[in-house]
Chain A
Amino acid sequence: MNEHRLINLVLRSYVVLVFVFIFTPIAGSVVFSFNIDRFPSLPLGGFSLHWYETIAADPAVWQAFKNSLMVGVVVSLVSTVLGFTAAYTDFRYQFFGKSIYMALALLPPTIPVVIMGLAMLAFLSRVGLSGEIYAVMISHVVMCAPFAMAVIRMRLAQMDPNIEAAAWNLGANQWKAMRFVILPFTAPSIFAALFVTMAVSFDEFAVAWFVSGLNETVPVRILNTLQGQVSPTINAIGTIVFITTMTLVILAQLLLMRRHKPATA
Protein backbone atom coordinates (compact mmCIF):
# COMPACT_ATOMS: atom_id res chain seq x y z
CA MET A 1 0.00 0.00 0.00
CA ASN A 2 2.81 2.36 0.92
CA GLU A 3 4.64 1.49 -2.24
CA HIS A 4 1.45 2.12 -4.15
CA ARG A 5 1.12 5.58 -2.64
CA LEU A 6 4.70 6.41 -3.37
CA ILE A 7 4.28 5.48 -7.01
CA ASN A 8 1.13 7.56 -7.26
CA LEU A 9 2.92 10.49 -5.72
CA VAL A 10 5.80 10.18 -8.16
CA LEU A 11 3.40 9.94 -11.10
CA ARG A 12 1.39 12.94 -10.00
CA SER A 13 4.52 15.03 -9.47
CA TYR A 14 5.52 14.01 -12.97
CA VAL A 15 2.24 15.36 -14.35
CA VAL A 16 2.81 18.59 -12.46
CA LEU A 17 6.29 18.81 -13.96
CA VAL A 18 4.93 18.36 -17.48
CA PHE A 19 2.42 21.11 -16.84
CA VAL A 20 5.13 23.39 -15.50
CA PHE A 21 6.99 22.90 -18.76
CA ILE A 22 3.88 23.53 -20.85
CA PHE A 23 2.90 26.68 -19.00
CA THR A 24 6.35 28.19 -18.48
CA PRO A 25 6.49 30.01 -21.83
CA ILE A 26 2.87 31.12 -21.54
CA ALA A 27 3.30 32.49 -18.04
CA GLY A 28 6.63 33.94 -19.12
CA SER A 29 5.13 35.92 -21.96
CA VAL A 30 2.38 37.30 -19.73
CA VAL A 31 4.92 38.39 -17.11
CA PHE A 32 7.30 39.85 -19.70
CA SER A 33 4.48 41.83 -21.23
CA PHE A 34 4.30 43.85 -18.01
CA ASN A 35 8.05 44.12 -17.67
CA ILE A 36 9.84 47.33 -18.54
CA ASP A 37 12.98 45.56 -19.84
CA ARG A 38 13.39 44.91 -23.52
CA PHE A 39 15.19 41.64 -22.83
CA PRO A 40 14.00 40.48 -19.43
CA SER A 41 16.31 38.54 -17.14
CA LEU A 42 16.56 37.86 -13.43
CA PRO A 43 15.99 39.91 -11.41
CA LEU A 44 12.97 41.19 -13.28
CA GLY A 45 12.71 44.89 -14.03
CA GLY A 46 9.86 47.09 -12.93
CA PHE A 47 6.18 46.79 -13.77
CA SER A 48 5.09 48.75 -16.81
CA LEU A 49 2.19 49.05 -19.21
CA HIS A 50 4.57 50.49 -21.77
CA TRP A 51 4.22 47.66 -24.29
CA TYR A 52 0.44 47.76 -24.09
CA GLU A 53 0.50 51.51 -24.61
CA THR A 54 2.78 51.01 -27.59
CA ILE A 55 0.44 48.59 -29.30
CA ALA A 56 -2.64 50.62 -28.37
CA ALA A 57 -1.08 53.59 -30.15
CA ASP A 58 -0.17 51.56 -33.23
CA PRO A 59 -2.91 51.69 -35.87
CA ALA A 60 -1.34 48.68 -37.63
CA VAL A 61 -2.06 46.55 -34.58
CA TRP A 62 -5.68 47.68 -34.49
CA GLN A 63 -6.02 46.96 -38.17
CA ALA A 64 -4.48 43.55 -37.58
CA PHE A 65 -7.03 42.78 -34.86
CA LYS A 66 -9.82 43.92 -37.15
CA ASN A 67 -8.53 41.71 -39.95
CA SER A 68 -8.13 38.75 -37.65
CA LEU A 69 -11.64 39.15 -36.32
CA MET A 70 -13.10 39.41 -39.79
CA VAL A 71 -11.16 36.38 -40.99
CA GLY A 72 -12.00 34.47 -37.82
CA VAL A 73 -15.75 35.01 -38.08
CA VAL A 74 -16.01 34.15 -41.76
CA VAL A 75 -13.68 31.18 -41.46
CA SER A 76 -15.49 29.73 -38.47
CA LEU A 77 -18.88 29.99 -40.17
CA VAL A 78 -17.81 28.55 -43.51
CA SER A 79 -15.60 25.81 -42.14
CA THR A 80 -18.23 24.74 -39.62
CA VAL A 81 -20.82 24.42 -42.37
CA LEU A 82 -18.38 22.42 -44.48
CA GLY A 83 -17.30 20.36 -41.49
CA PHE A 84 -20.90 19.61 -40.60
CA THR A 85 -21.81 18.41 -44.07
CA ALA A 86 -18.73 16.21 -44.18
CA ALA A 87 -19.36 14.78 -40.71
CA TYR A 88 -22.97 14.03 -41.58
CA THR A 89 -21.97 12.40 -44.86
CA ASP A 90 -19.52 10.19 -43.02
CA PHE A 91 -22.15 9.36 -40.41
CA ARG A 92 -24.88 8.45 -42.79
CA TYR A 93 -23.58 7.23 -46.12
CA GLN A 94 -21.47 4.37 -47.35
CA PHE A 95 -20.23 4.79 -50.88
CA PHE A 96 -17.47 3.79 -53.19
CA GLY A 97 -14.28 5.79 -52.57
CA LYS A 98 -15.40 6.97 -49.19
CA SER A 99 -11.97 6.54 -47.65
CA ILE A 100 -10.53 8.86 -50.29
CA TYR A 101 -13.35 11.29 -49.64
CA MET A 102 -12.58 11.24 -45.93
CA ALA A 103 -8.87 11.58 -46.52
CA LEU A 104 -9.54 14.71 -48.58
CA ALA A 105 -11.66 16.11 -45.80
CA LEU A 106 -9.10 15.39 -43.09
CA LEU A 107 -5.71 15.73 -44.75
CA PRO A 108 -5.03 19.49 -44.73
CA PRO A 109 -3.68 19.73 -41.16
CA THR A 110 -1.01 17.17 -42.05
CA ILE A 111 0.57 19.35 -44.71
CA PRO A 112 3.38 21.51 -43.29
CA VAL A 113 2.29 25.12 -43.10
CA VAL A 114 5.25 26.34 -45.13
CA ILE A 115 4.18 24.12 -48.00
CA MET A 116 0.53 25.05 -47.63
CA GLY A 117 1.56 28.68 -47.71
CA LEU A 118 3.72 28.22 -50.77
CA ALA A 119 1.04 26.27 -52.61
CA MET A 120 -1.77 28.65 -51.68
CA LEU A 121 0.27 31.66 -52.71
CA ALA A 122 1.29 30.11 -56.01
CA PHE A 123 -2.29 29.12 -56.76
CA LEU A 124 -4.16 32.15 -55.45
CA SER A 125 -1.82 34.59 -57.14
CA ARG A 126 -2.59 32.91 -60.47
CA VAL A 127 -6.30 33.39 -59.99
CA GLY A 128 -5.78 36.95 -58.81
CA LEU A 129 -6.76 36.41 -55.20
CA SER A 130 -3.46 36.70 -53.38
CA GLY A 131 -2.88 39.72 -51.22
CA GLU A 132 -6.60 40.02 -50.58
CA ILE A 133 -8.15 39.35 -47.23
CA TYR A 134 -10.26 36.56 -48.69
CA ALA A 135 -7.09 34.74 -49.65
CA VAL A 136 -6.48 34.29 -45.94
CA MET A 137 -10.11 33.25 -45.45
CA ILE A 138 -9.99 30.62 -48.17
CA SER A 139 -6.74 29.13 -46.90
CA HIS A 140 -7.95 29.07 -43.33
CA VAL A 141 -11.21 27.36 -44.25
CA VAL A 142 -9.17 24.61 -45.91
CA MET A 143 -7.17 24.19 -42.72
CA CYS A 144 -10.03 24.57 -40.24
CA ALA A 145 -12.84 22.52 -41.82
CA PRO A 146 -11.22 19.24 -40.70
CA PHE A 147 -11.27 20.42 -37.10
CA ALA A 148 -14.93 21.31 -37.35
CA MET A 149 -15.66 17.97 -38.95
CA ALA A 150 -13.81 16.08 -36.19
CA VAL A 151 -15.67 17.87 -33.41
CA ILE A 152 -19.11 17.37 -34.99
CA ARG A 153 -18.40 13.80 -36.02
CA MET A 154 -17.57 12.93 -32.41
CA ARG A 155 -20.98 14.16 -31.36
CA LEU A 156 -22.74 12.27 -34.15
CA ALA A 157 -21.00 9.09 -33.01
CA GLN A 158 -23.07 9.30 -29.84
CA MET A 159 -26.31 9.33 -31.76
CA ASP A 160 -28.32 6.22 -32.45
CA PRO A 161 -28.78 6.14 -36.26
CA ASN A 162 -32.21 4.64 -35.73
CA ILE A 163 -33.48 7.93 -34.34
CA GLU A 164 -33.28 9.50 -37.74
CA ALA A 165 -34.95 6.50 -39.32
CA ALA A 166 -37.68 6.68 -36.72
CA ALA A 167 -38.36 10.29 -37.71
CA TRP A 168 -38.83 9.24 -41.34
CA ASN A 169 -41.18 6.48 -40.27
CA LEU A 170 -43.20 9.07 -38.47
CA GLY A 171 -43.58 10.86 -41.78
CA ALA A 172 -40.86 13.47 -41.66
CA ASN A 173 -39.00 13.99 -44.91
CA GLN A 174 -35.21 14.02 -44.91
CA TRP A 175 -34.91 17.80 -44.59
CA LYS A 176 -37.37 17.85 -41.73
CA ALA A 177 -35.52 15.06 -39.97
CA MET A 178 -32.34 17.07 -40.43
CA ARG A 179 -33.97 20.18 -39.07
CA PHE A 180 -35.70 18.60 -36.07
CA VAL A 181 -33.50 15.64 -35.19
CA ILE A 182 -29.92 15.97 -36.40
CA LEU A 183 -29.39 19.70 -35.97
CA PRO A 184 -30.70 19.95 -32.41
CA PHE A 185 -28.70 16.89 -31.43
CA THR A 186 -25.44 18.23 -32.87
CA ALA A 187 -26.04 21.85 -31.86
CA PRO A 188 -23.54 21.89 -28.97
CA SER A 189 -20.82 20.47 -31.19
CA ILE A 190 -21.66 22.95 -33.94
CA PHE A 191 -21.10 25.80 -31.54
CA ALA A 192 -17.95 24.16 -30.25
CA ALA A 193 -16.75 23.83 -33.84
CA LEU A 194 -17.44 27.52 -34.45
CA PHE A 195 -15.24 28.48 -31.54
CA VAL A 196 -12.49 25.97 -32.18
CA THR A 197 -12.13 26.92 -35.84
CA MET A 198 -12.13 30.59 -34.97
CA ALA A 199 -9.39 29.98 -32.43
CA VAL A 200 -7.29 28.00 -34.93
CA SER A 201 -7.67 30.73 -37.51
CA PHE A 202 -6.82 33.35 -34.92
CA ASP A 203 -3.40 31.79 -34.29
CA GLU A 204 -2.40 30.76 -37.80
CA PHE A 205 0.62 32.75 -38.97
CA ALA A 206 2.51 30.86 -41.65
CA VAL A 207 -0.04 30.49 -44.42
CA ALA A 208 -1.52 33.88 -43.61
CA TRP A 209 1.95 35.41 -43.89
CA PHE A 210 2.31 34.06 -47.42
CA VAL A 211 -1.07 35.09 -48.77
CA SER A 212 -2.13 38.10 -46.72
CA GLY A 213 -0.32 40.77 -48.74
CA LEU A 214 -0.96 44.11 -47.10
CA ASN A 215 -3.70 42.75 -44.87
CA GLU A 216 -1.82 41.64 -41.81
CA THR A 217 -3.60 39.51 -39.25
CA VAL A 218 -2.50 39.49 -35.63
CA PRO A 219 -0.23 36.41 -35.84
CA VAL A 220 1.33 37.77 -39.03
CA ARG A 221 1.99 40.99 -37.17
CA ILE A 222 3.72 38.95 -34.45
CA LEU A 223 5.81 37.06 -37.00
CA ASN A 224 6.80 40.33 -38.65
CA THR A 225 7.89 41.71 -35.31
CA LEU A 226 9.89 38.55 -34.66
CA GLN A 227 11.53 38.86 -38.06
CA GLY A 228 12.06 42.58 -37.79
CA GLN A 229 12.57 44.76 -34.77
CA VAL A 230 12.08 42.19 -32.06
CA SER A 231 10.24 43.89 -29.23
CA PRO A 232 8.29 42.82 -26.18
CA THR A 233 5.13 44.16 -27.80
CA ILE A 234 4.98 40.55 -29.01
CA ASN A 235 4.23 39.51 -25.44
CA ALA A 236 1.55 42.14 -25.03
CA ILE A 237 -0.16 41.11 -28.26
CA GLY A 238 0.31 37.47 -27.31
CA THR A 239 -1.33 38.02 -23.95
CA ILE A 240 -4.33 39.69 -25.55
CA VAL A 241 -4.62 36.87 -28.08
CA PHE A 242 -4.28 34.37 -25.26
CA ILE A 243 -7.16 35.90 -23.35
CA THR A 244 -9.29 36.09 -26.49
CA THR A 245 -8.75 32.50 -27.56
CA MET A 246 -9.08 31.21 -24.02
CA THR A 247 -12.46 32.88 -23.78
CA LEU A 248 -13.48 31.15 -26.99
CA VAL A 249 -12.19 27.78 -25.86
CA ILE A 250 -13.88 27.99 -22.48
CA LEU A 251 -17.15 28.94 -24.16
CA ALA A 252 -16.73 25.96 -26.46
CA GLN A 253 -16.02 23.71 -23.52
CA LEU A 254 -19.10 24.93 -21.67
CA LEU A 255 -21.25 24.22 -24.70
CA LEU A 256 -19.69 20.80 -25.21
CA MET A 257 -20.25 19.91 -21.58
CA ARG A 258 -23.97 20.12 -22.18
CA ARG A 259 -23.71 16.87 -24.03
CA HIS A 260 -23.14 15.09 -20.75
CA LYS A 261 -26.67 16.00 -19.80
CA PRO A 262 -29.51 13.88 -21.19
CA ALA A 263 -29.86 14.34 -24.92
CA THR A 264 -32.35 17.04 -25.75
CA ALA A 265 -33.36 15.49 -29.03
Chain B
Amino acid sequence: MMSNKLKVSPPVVTDGSAAQLRGGRRGLRLPWYGFSFSMPILIWQLVFFVFPLAFLVAISFWVVRNFRMVPAFEWLNWNYMLSRGFFWDAYAHTLAMAAGAAVLISVVALPCAYTIAFKFRESVKQLIVLLLITPFFTSYLVRTYSWQVFLSDNGILNAALGQFGLEPLAMLNTAFATYVGYFTLCLPLVVLLQLFSLMYIDRSLIEAAHNLGCGRMRTVFLVVVPSARIGIVVAALFCFILTFGDFVSPLYLGGGQPPTLSTLITDTTKSGQQWPRAAVIATMMIVTLLITAFAAVRFAYRRRA
Protein backbone atom coordinates (compact mmCIF):
# COMPACT_ATOMS: atom_id res chain seq x y z
CA MET B 1 0.00 0.00 0.00
CA MET B 2 2.72 2.38 0.97
CA SER B 3 5.27 1.80 -1.69
CA ASN B 4 2.30 1.86 -3.98
CA LYS B 5 1.59 5.45 -3.05
CA LEU B 6 5.20 6.27 -3.26
CA LYS B 7 5.20 5.77 -6.98
CA VAL B 8 1.70 6.82 -7.73
CA SER B 9 2.15 10.21 -6.18
CA PRO B 10 4.26 12.14 -8.71
CA PRO B 11 1.49 12.69 -11.26
CA VAL B 12 -0.83 13.78 -8.46
CA VAL B 13 1.64 16.29 -7.16
CA THR B 14 1.72 19.65 -8.85
CA ASP B 15 2.76 19.97 -12.44
CA GLY B 16 6.02 21.69 -13.21
CA SER B 17 4.62 25.13 -13.87
CA ALA B 18 2.92 25.42 -10.52
CA ALA B 19 6.11 24.38 -8.75
CA GLN B 20 8.02 27.08 -10.64
CA LEU B 21 5.44 29.61 -9.75
CA ARG B 22 5.98 28.83 -6.10
CA GLY B 23 9.73 28.97 -6.42
CA GLY B 24 9.32 32.42 -7.92
CA ARG B 25 7.09 33.59 -5.13
CA ARG B 26 9.51 32.57 -2.43
CA GLY B 27 12.21 34.45 -4.26
CA LEU B 28 15.32 35.11 -2.21
CA ARG B 29 13.95 34.24 1.19
CA LEU B 30 15.03 31.01 2.81
CA PRO B 31 12.34 28.35 2.46
CA TRP B 32 11.52 28.18 6.16
CA TYR B 33 8.04 27.09 5.39
CA GLY B 34 9.19 24.15 3.31
CA PHE B 35 11.82 23.20 5.86
CA SER B 36 9.39 23.17 8.71
CA PHE B 37 7.34 20.56 6.88
CA SER B 38 10.02 18.45 5.29
CA MET B 39 12.54 18.37 8.13
CA PRO B 40 10.74 16.94 11.20
CA ILE B 41 10.19 13.43 9.90
CA LEU B 42 13.62 13.38 8.27
CA ILE B 43 15.36 14.29 11.51
CA TRP B 44 13.24 11.98 13.61
CA GLN B 45 13.73 8.94 11.38
CA LEU B 46 17.43 9.62 10.99
CA VAL B 47 17.99 9.85 14.72
CA PHE B 48 15.61 7.19 15.95
CA PHE B 49 15.42 4.79 13.04
CA VAL B 50 18.43 4.91 10.76
CA PHE B 51 20.87 5.48 13.56
CA PRO B 52 19.72 2.58 15.77
CA LEU B 53 19.77 0.22 12.80
CA ALA B 54 23.22 1.41 11.80
CA PHE B 55 24.30 0.95 15.39
CA LEU B 56 22.99 -2.61 15.33
CA VAL B 57 25.05 -3.30 12.24
CA ALA B 58 28.06 -1.77 13.99
CA ILE B 59 27.53 -4.04 16.98
CA SER B 60 27.91 -7.05 14.72
CA PHE B 61 31.61 -6.15 14.58
CA TRP B 62 32.03 -5.88 18.34
CA VAL B 63 33.45 -8.57 20.57
CA VAL B 64 32.28 -10.04 23.87
CA ARG B 65 34.67 -10.15 26.80
CA ASN B 66 33.68 -11.28 30.27
CA PHE B 67 30.07 -11.40 29.17
CA ARG B 68 30.20 -7.74 28.21
CA MET B 69 30.28 -6.18 24.77
CA VAL B 70 33.41 -4.29 23.81
CA PRO B 71 33.55 -2.00 20.76
CA ALA B 72 35.84 -3.35 18.08
CA PHE B 73 36.01 -3.88 14.38
CA GLU B 74 36.38 -7.60 13.89
CA TRP B 75 34.90 -9.92 11.29
CA LEU B 76 34.87 -12.64 13.96
CA ASN B 77 31.13 -12.81 14.45
CA TRP B 78 30.47 -12.74 10.74
CA ASN B 79 32.91 -15.55 10.03
CA TYR B 80 31.49 -17.47 12.92
CA MET B 81 27.79 -17.16 12.13
CA LEU B 82 28.09 -17.55 8.39
CA SER B 83 30.11 -20.73 8.75
CA ARG B 84 27.48 -22.41 10.93
CA GLY B 85 25.35 -25.03 9.25
CA PHE B 86 22.47 -24.35 11.60
CA PHE B 87 22.41 -20.70 10.63
CA TRP B 88 21.92 -21.53 6.95
CA ASP B 89 19.37 -24.21 7.83
CA ALA B 90 17.36 -21.69 9.80
CA TYR B 91 17.82 -19.14 7.04
CA ALA B 92 16.55 -21.51 4.35
CA HIS B 93 13.69 -22.62 6.55
CA THR B 94 12.60 -19.07 7.38
CA LEU B 95 12.87 -18.01 3.76
CA ALA B 96 10.85 -21.01 2.58
CA MET B 97 8.17 -20.52 5.24
CA ALA B 98 7.83 -16.81 4.46
CA ALA B 99 7.81 -17.31 0.69
CA GLY B 100 5.30 -20.10 1.08
CA ALA B 101 3.13 -17.89 3.25
CA ALA B 102 3.30 -15.05 0.73
CA VAL B 103 2.18 -17.29 -2.13
CA LEU B 104 -0.39 -19.30 -0.19
CA ILE B 105 -2.00 -16.36 1.54
CA SER B 106 -2.13 -14.38 -1.72
CA VAL B 107 -3.80 -17.30 -3.48
CA VAL B 108 -6.33 -17.76 -0.71
CA ALA B 109 -6.99 -14.03 -0.43
CA LEU B 110 -7.42 -13.22 -4.12
CA PRO B 111 -10.81 -14.91 -4.76
CA CYS B 112 -12.02 -13.31 -1.56
CA ALA B 113 -10.84 -9.82 -2.53
CA TYR B 114 -12.20 -10.33 -6.04
CA THR B 115 -15.63 -11.28 -4.75
CA ILE B 116 -15.74 -8.35 -2.35
CA ALA B 117 -14.68 -5.95 -5.05
CA PHE B 118 -17.08 -7.10 -7.75
CA LYS B 119 -19.93 -8.99 -6.15
CA PHE B 120 -21.10 -6.83 -3.27
CA ARG B 121 -23.07 -3.64 -2.97
CA GLU B 122 -21.21 -0.49 -1.95
CA SER B 123 -22.67 -0.39 1.56
CA VAL B 124 -21.86 -4.06 2.19
CA LYS B 125 -18.38 -3.43 0.88
CA GLN B 126 -17.83 -0.67 3.43
CA LEU B 127 -18.94 -2.93 6.24
CA ILE B 128 -16.59 -5.64 4.99
CA VAL B 129 -13.67 -3.23 4.90
CA LEU B 130 -14.42 -2.25 8.47
CA LEU B 131 -14.55 -5.91 9.47
CA LEU B 132 -11.22 -6.50 7.76
CA ILE B 133 -9.64 -3.69 9.72
CA THR B 134 -10.85 -5.15 13.02
CA PRO B 135 -8.39 -8.04 13.42
CA PHE B 136 -5.54 -5.73 12.47
CA PHE B 137 -6.13 -3.92 15.73
CA THR B 138 -6.79 -6.83 18.03
CA SER B 139 -3.94 -8.37 19.89
CA TYR B 140 -2.05 -10.82 17.71
CA LEU B 141 -0.75 -12.52 20.85
CA VAL B 142 -4.22 -13.11 22.18
CA ARG B 143 -5.35 -14.53 18.86
CA THR B 144 -2.37 -16.87 18.81
CA TYR B 145 -3.15 -18.05 22.31
CA SER B 146 -6.73 -18.58 21.26
CA TRP B 147 -5.61 -20.80 18.38
CA GLN B 148 -3.69 -22.96 20.83
CA VAL B 149 -6.97 -23.83 22.49
CA PHE B 150 -8.52 -24.71 19.15
CA LEU B 151 -5.64 -26.71 17.73
CA SER B 152 -4.24 -28.77 20.60
CA ASP B 153 -4.71 -32.55 20.73
CA ASN B 154 -7.48 -32.19 23.29
CA GLY B 155 -8.59 -28.89 21.85
CA ILE B 156 -11.85 -27.66 20.45
CA LEU B 157 -11.27 -28.71 16.85
CA ASN B 158 -10.35 -32.24 17.80
CA ALA B 159 -13.27 -32.44 20.20
CA ALA B 160 -15.51 -31.36 17.33
CA LEU B 161 -13.93 -33.98 15.06
CA GLY B 162 -14.54 -36.53 17.80
CA GLN B 163 -18.26 -35.78 17.64
CA PHE B 164 -18.18 -37.13 14.12
CA GLY B 165 -16.25 -40.16 15.24
CA LEU B 166 -13.03 -38.97 13.63
CA GLU B 167 -9.53 -39.60 14.92
CA PRO B 168 -7.84 -36.59 16.52
CA LEU B 169 -5.37 -34.82 14.28
CA ALA B 170 -1.97 -33.60 15.40
CA MET B 171 -2.10 -29.91 14.57
CA LEU B 172 -0.45 -27.88 17.32
CA ASN B 173 3.36 -27.78 17.22
CA THR B 174 3.44 -28.52 13.50
CA ALA B 175 4.17 -26.38 10.46
CA PHE B 176 0.43 -26.42 9.85
CA ALA B 177 -0.19 -24.53 13.09
CA THR B 178 2.58 -22.07 12.23
CA TYR B 179 0.76 -21.38 8.98
CA VAL B 180 -2.51 -20.91 10.83
CA GLY B 181 -0.68 -18.22 12.78
CA TYR B 182 0.74 -16.67 9.63
CA PHE B 183 -2.73 -16.57 8.08
CA THR B 184 -4.05 -14.94 11.23
CA LEU B 185 -1.34 -12.33 11.03
CA CYS B 186 -1.52 -11.57 7.30
CA LEU B 187 -4.77 -12.65 5.70
CA PRO B 188 -6.84 -9.55 6.60
CA LEU B 189 -4.07 -7.22 5.46
CA VAL B 190 -3.53 -9.07 2.18
CA VAL B 191 -7.25 -9.13 1.38
CA LEU B 192 -7.45 -5.40 2.13
CA LEU B 193 -4.50 -4.46 -0.06
CA GLN B 194 -5.70 -6.63 -2.92
CA LEU B 195 -9.16 -5.21 -2.52
CA PHE B 196 -7.93 -1.62 -2.77
CA SER B 197 -6.17 -2.29 -6.04
CA LEU B 198 -9.07 -4.30 -7.49
CA MET B 199 -11.55 -1.55 -6.65
CA TYR B 200 -9.70 0.91 -8.83
CA ILE B 201 -9.67 -1.27 -11.94
CA ASP B 202 -11.41 0.42 -14.81
CA ARG B 203 -14.62 -1.59 -15.19
CA SER B 204 -14.85 -0.78 -18.87
CA LEU B 205 -11.78 -2.96 -19.36
CA ILE B 206 -13.66 -5.92 -18.00
CA GLU B 207 -16.71 -5.14 -20.07
CA ALA B 208 -14.55 -4.79 -23.15
CA ALA B 209 -13.04 -8.18 -22.49
CA HIS B 210 -16.51 -9.67 -22.14
CA ASN B 211 -17.67 -8.00 -25.34
CA LEU B 212 -14.73 -9.44 -27.15
CA GLY B 213 -15.92 -12.88 -26.11
CA CYS B 214 -13.41 -13.44 -23.37
CA GLY B 215 -14.56 -16.11 -20.89
CA ARG B 216 -14.93 -15.48 -17.19
CA MET B 217 -11.76 -17.19 -16.07
CA ARG B 218 -9.78 -15.75 -18.94
CA THR B 219 -11.00 -12.28 -18.04
CA VAL B 220 -9.87 -12.76 -14.48
CA PHE B 221 -6.42 -13.94 -15.43
CA LEU B 222 -5.82 -11.77 -18.49
CA VAL B 223 -7.47 -8.53 -17.40
CA VAL B 224 -8.23 -8.34 -13.70
CA VAL B 225 -5.10 -9.85 -12.21
CA PRO B 226 -2.65 -7.94 -14.44
CA SER B 227 -4.41 -4.63 -13.78
CA ALA B 228 -4.23 -5.20 -10.05
CA ARG B 229 -0.67 -6.46 -10.22
CA ILE B 230 0.80 -3.70 -8.11
CA GLY B 231 -1.59 -4.31 -5.25
CA ILE B 232 -1.21 -8.07 -5.42
CA VAL B 233 2.58 -7.94 -5.43
CA VAL B 234 2.74 -5.35 -2.66
CA ALA B 235 0.32 -7.41 -0.55
CA ALA B 236 2.44 -10.52 -1.04
CA LEU B 237 5.51 -8.49 -0.16
CA PHE B 238 3.97 -7.32 3.10
CA CYS B 239 3.01 -10.87 3.86
CA PHE B 240 6.58 -12.00 3.25
CA ILE B 241 8.00 -9.22 5.43
CA LEU B 242 5.65 -9.91 8.32
CA THR B 243 6.09 -13.67 8.35
CA PHE B 244 9.83 -13.51 7.77
CA GLY B 245 10.29 -11.63 11.02
CA ASP B 246 7.49 -13.12 13.10
CA PHE B 247 8.55 -15.05 16.17
CA VAL B 248 5.15 -15.57 17.78
CA SER B 249 3.57 -18.16 15.49
CA PRO B 250 6.61 -20.41 15.04
CA LEU B 251 7.15 -20.38 18.79
CA TYR B 252 3.66 -20.60 20.27
CA LEU B 253 1.93 -22.55 17.51
CA GLY B 254 4.78 -24.31 15.72
CA GLY B 255 6.43 -25.60 18.89
CA GLY B 256 9.68 -23.80 18.08
CA GLN B 257 10.91 -26.39 15.61
CA PRO B 258 12.77 -26.08 13.43
CA PRO B 259 14.05 -22.70 14.58
CA THR B 260 13.43 -19.61 12.47
CA LEU B 261 15.87 -16.72 12.31
CA SER B 262 13.95 -14.78 14.97
CA THR B 263 14.23 -17.75 17.33
CA LEU B 264 17.89 -18.09 16.46
CA ILE B 265 18.47 -14.47 17.49
CA THR B 266 17.27 -15.27 21.01
CA ASP B 267 19.13 -18.58 21.06
CA THR B 268 22.38 -16.94 20.05
CA THR B 269 22.35 -14.75 23.12
CA LYS B 270 22.28 -17.93 25.20
CA SER B 271 25.96 -18.62 24.85
CA GLY B 272 27.06 -15.86 27.16
CA GLN B 273 25.60 -12.61 25.83
CA GLN B 274 26.51 -13.04 22.19
CA TRP B 275 24.59 -9.94 21.11
CA PRO B 276 27.09 -9.22 18.32
CA ARG B 277 26.25 -12.56 16.75
CA ALA B 278 22.56 -11.82 17.12
CA ALA B 279 23.32 -8.55 15.32
CA VAL B 280 24.86 -10.53 12.47
CA ILE B 281 21.64 -12.51 12.08
CA ALA B 282 19.58 -9.32 12.30
CA THR B 283 21.72 -7.66 9.62
CA MET B 284 21.33 -10.65 7.34
CA MET B 285 17.57 -10.44 7.83
CA ILE B 286 17.45 -6.74 7.02
CA VAL B 287 19.54 -7.23 3.90
CA THR B 288 17.31 -10.10 2.75
CA LEU B 289 14.19 -8.03 3.30
CA LEU B 290 15.59 -5.01 1.51
CA ILE B 291 16.58 -7.09 -1.50
CA THR B 292 13.19 -8.80 -1.58
CA ALA B 293 11.34 -5.52 -1.21
CA PHE B 294 13.41 -3.88 -3.92
CA ALA B 295 12.91 -6.78 -6.31
CA ALA B 296 9.18 -6.97 -5.60
CA VAL B 297 8.65 -3.24 -6.10
CA ARG B 298 10.68 -3.35 -9.30
CA PHE B 299 8.53 -6.22 -10.50
CA ALA B 300 5.29 -4.55 -9.51
CA TYR B 301 6.04 -1.33 -11.35
CA ARG B 302 7.74 -2.87 -14.32
CA ARG B 303 6.17 -1.60 -17.50
CA ARG B 304 4.15 -4.21 -19.21
CA ALA B 305 5.72 -5.44 -22.42
Contact = CB atoms under 8 A, between A and B. Distances in A.
Give the interface residue-count category, chain A: 35 or more
Given A90-B9, A150-B1, A114 B247 contact: yes
Contacts, number: 264
Interface stretch (A21-29, A45-53, A56-64): A21-29
Given A11-B115, A29-B145, A104-B49, A142 B13 contact: no
B55 A123 contact: yes
Nearest to B159: A42
A41 B155 contact: yes
A118 B278 contact: yes
A64 to B, nearest CB: 13
A75 interface: no
Interface string B1-33: 111011011101110001101100100000001
Q: Quick one: which of B12, B37, B40 has the most chain A CB within 10 A?
A: B37
A234 B275 contact: no
A261 interface: no
B108 interface: yes
Contacts of B42: 101, 104-105
Interface in B264-305: 265, 275, 278-279, 282, 285-286, 289, 293
B223 to A, nearest CB: 17
Nearest to A81: B40
A263 interface: no
B150 A118 contact: no
7 contacts: A90-B13, A93-B13, A112-B246, A112-B285, A115-B56, A161-B13, A246-B137
Shortest 3 CB-CB contacts between residues of A and residues of B: A112-B245, A238-B142, A123-B52
Interface of B: 1-3, 5-6, 8-10, 12-14, 18-19, 21-22, 25, 33-34, 36-42, 44-46, 48-53, 55-56, 59, 108-109, 111-112, 114-116, 119, 126, 128, 130-135, 137-147, 149-150, 154-156, 159-160, 163, 183-184, 187-188, 191, 216, 241, 244-247, 252, 262, 265, 275, 278-279, 282, 285-286, 289, 293
